[in-house]
Structure 1
Amino acid sequence: MEEENERYRAPALDKGLDILELLAGVDGGLTQAEIAKRLARSPNEFYRMLDRLVKRGYVTRIDGDRFTLTLKLFGLAQLHAPVRRLVSFAVPVMRELAEACRQANQLVVFDRGNPVVIAQQEAPGYWGISIRVGSRIGLFDTGSGHVLLAFRPEVERARMIAEHAGEGGADGRMTAEFSARLDLIRTRGYEMMPSAQTAGVINLSAPVRGADGTAIAALTVPYITLINTPGAPDISAAIQLVTQATARLSDMTGAGFTVEGDA
């Protein structure tokens, strides 16, 4: 299989994709020499490719000699009808949820091995935790990832974990204890867990379901305790608001609606 994959390689395309994937994970851009060093190549190998990516609008120059991504890739992603349709349904509901619970929230789908944020609503007040649209987050250590796994059949769940681990790989985190956790989430209808990334944050996550009951997305509130904020609901009330919001979105999605792979 590996020999067959190598036979059909497109080196120029691989080079361009390597650049885009590298720049996607860097703030502030990189010089041509820095790109070459990180990709273990000669700087001359990337001159023409960078020139074409700039001319096509995927990359731009900043500070004279640094290259960074434009928003063109993000714009192309939003042209996918399933994602655009789901986001159009979700945004008004997410805005209402933010106002009701005084917290930020985000909508997440599974795409090519990771949960991906496709919509985000800021908290209405001064304080809130938000994640940028387009962020690829953890499958095993986030509320969104837990919900997307919990509300999938075993076969789909295994495929998601395999994609996350890499083709043909395995992930040792899928233990009996973790499987029991997913069963609990499925039974109660939501996940409530301390953030593995930010101290003091509790992730409140619930599924947006398709007609067959499987999760096509997860809606998550990164809940923080607000002090001296009149009318702010406690965490129990907040999770009720989250599950009410996802119930509304599940009703809106209709039969046969799917977004996986189109984020």
Structure 2
Amino acid sequence: MPKGPAKTANSVDKDERYRAPALDKGLDILELLSEQPGGLTRAEIGEAMGRGPSEVYRMLERLVARDFVSRSPEGDRYALTMKLFILAHRHPPIRRLVARAQPLMDAFSVAAGQSCHLVAPDRDAAIVVAHASPPGNWEFGIRIGAHIDLLTTSSGHILLAFQDPHSQSEAAARWEGTRQASAREKLESILTGYRDLGHRVGPSQQMRAIDDISVPILSPDGYAIAVLTCPYILRIDDRQADIDQTLALLKDVAAKLSLS
């Protein structure tokens, strides 16, 4: 498994000083179940956490009672509910941004004949918070709620290119001595180019035959608060905007959403 950033003696002492074992146990369960769409039994949860089934029983019962976790009708399997997703989307800045962005994104998809998605930063990653599809029979998109990597995606690169200094320094401290730090350093000249251009247009780093178009949504200080990305697909069976026209349409949406 990949190792996280090395901790200093002071950070370890601070972590230990403020430990809340019951809370840690509950958060460990939520994080574990977030990676298991089919759920896990109590025994499987205990085994994955290195704890006996009885140790996680009370915590699971509280998570079920608070509706963060659901129990299967048979009573032997636990899975996440939608509550965490709902809570995340109650966060006012994201909720307001999505409310403003969705009609503009829908109009873009109609005009360009392409899908697009809105990505917001989420600590050392990013999360898809909105999506729009073009009319017709075909579409390509990424699901809302998906976490994406900052270092290996078009949206992530634009977030890094336009990242505010405070977030940069925090990330540098967390990544110090890790592979992420080395990868981030190698990207610097590329990110500088994206800052100068104000966007990224280039091959997808996950899928072939797709060109990602990514543009930042900016704060008044010129830093990215979110990114709009269009996974551009060149179709041969219908009329659509070309890639330059699509970039212009996406930039227009980003300009309307940016804070001046």
TM band (smaller chain): 0.7 to 0.9
For 2:142 and 2:73, the matched residues in 1 are separated by 27
- Cross-structure match for 2:94: 83
Instruction: Map 1:105-254 to 2 at 5 A.
Output: 105-154=116-165, 156-163=167-174, 165=175, 169=178, 171-176=181-186, 178-229=187-238, 231-250=239-258, 253-254=259-260
Contact 1:162/1:168 (8 A) holds in 2: no
Question: How many residues of Structure 1 are paired with residues of Structure 2 in the alignment?
Answer: 248
Q: CA offset at residue 15 of structure 1?
A: 0.7
Change (3 A) 1:161 1:232: farther
Q: Tell which deviates more after alignment, 130-139 or 213-222.
A: 130-139
- Taking structure 1 as the reference length, what is the TM-score of the superposition? 0.87
Q: Look up the SS of the partner of 1:98 in the other structure.
A: helix
* Deviation of the 1:155 alpha carbon: 5.3
Deviations along 1:180-224, one digit per CA (max 9) or x if unpaired, are 111111111111232222222221100001111111110011122
Separation in structure 2 between the aligned mates of residue 159 and residue 87 of structure 1, nearest angstrom = 26
In structure 1, stretches of 5+ residues that fail to align are: 255-263
- Secondary structure at 1:213 match in 2: coil
When the two chains are superposed, the root-mean-square deviation of aligned CA atoms in Å is 1.9
Identity of aligned residues (%): 44
CA distance in 1, matches of 2:199, 2:192: 11
Which stretches in structure 2 are left out of the alignment for 5+ residues?
1-9
Residue pairs, 1:4-43, within 5 angstroms:
4-43=14-53
Q: Point out which structure has higher relative CO (alpha carbons under 8 A, 6+ apart).
A: 1
**Counterpart contact for 1:113–1:161, Cα < 8 Å:** no
Structure-2 change in CA distance of 1:161 and 1:137 (3 Å): farther
Distance 1:84 1:127 in 2: 28
The equivalent of 2:108 in structure 1 is 97
